[in-house]
Amino acid sequence: MKIIVINGPNLNMLGKREPGIYGNETLDDLRKYVKDEFKDDVDIEFFQSNHEGYIIDKLHEANEEFDGVVINPGAFTHYSYAIHDAIKSISTKVVEVHISNIHQREEFRQKSVTASACIGQISGFGFESYILGIKSLLKQI
């Protein structure tokens, strides 16, 4: 089984950006946490970009190369109809995840335009959101 975890804008700043919301751990810590959880069971690749087009390109590639996608679109969650359309255009199943509970945050963060293109959304459990997203995805594949 081959899964790609796609992280959007500013997730490269984990550990530095708003630690009260996102914690002190880094994107590298997230990679290690996820890979350690699944060890030899699942081949997991990570991708992060601050650029919408690169995320869209990676989603298109995922359709050919991966069995599933876990995506944290970052701020693109709230306004990227292009990422929504890219998710809808592929047959690979996608789960949206968020470290923080977006429904308890600022009003503009409470709406996801990308979630309706996914098979589900998990938010508010820190790095565990990724683990839950992958486990949910594996049950759907």
Residue pLDDT, tens place only, 35-64: 999 998 999 999 999 999 999 999 999 999
Q: Catalytic: 81? A: no
The span from the CA of 94 to the CA of 48, in Å, is: 16
Tell me the pLDDT tens digit for each residue of 69-106. 999 999 999 999 999 999 999 999 999 999 988 887 77
**Residue 40, pLDDT score:** 85
pTM: 0.94
CATH fold, domain 2-140, is Rossmann fold (3.40.50)
The per-residue pLDDT for 104 is 75
Q: Which of 79, 98, 103, 130 is catalytic?
A: 98
When the pLDDT of each residue in the chain is averaged and rounded to a whole number, the result is 94
Percent of the chain with pLDDT over 90: 83
Q: Is 98 a catalytic residue?
A: yes
Residues shown for the chain: 141
In 3-state terms the chain splits into helix, strand, coil percentages (rounded to 5) of 50, 20, 35
Is the confidence at residue 116, as pLDDT, over 90? yes
Those residues with Cβ within 8 angstroms of residue 90's Cβ, 6 or more apart along the chain or in another chain: 59, 60, 62, 63, 69
- Annotated domain spans of the chain: 2-140
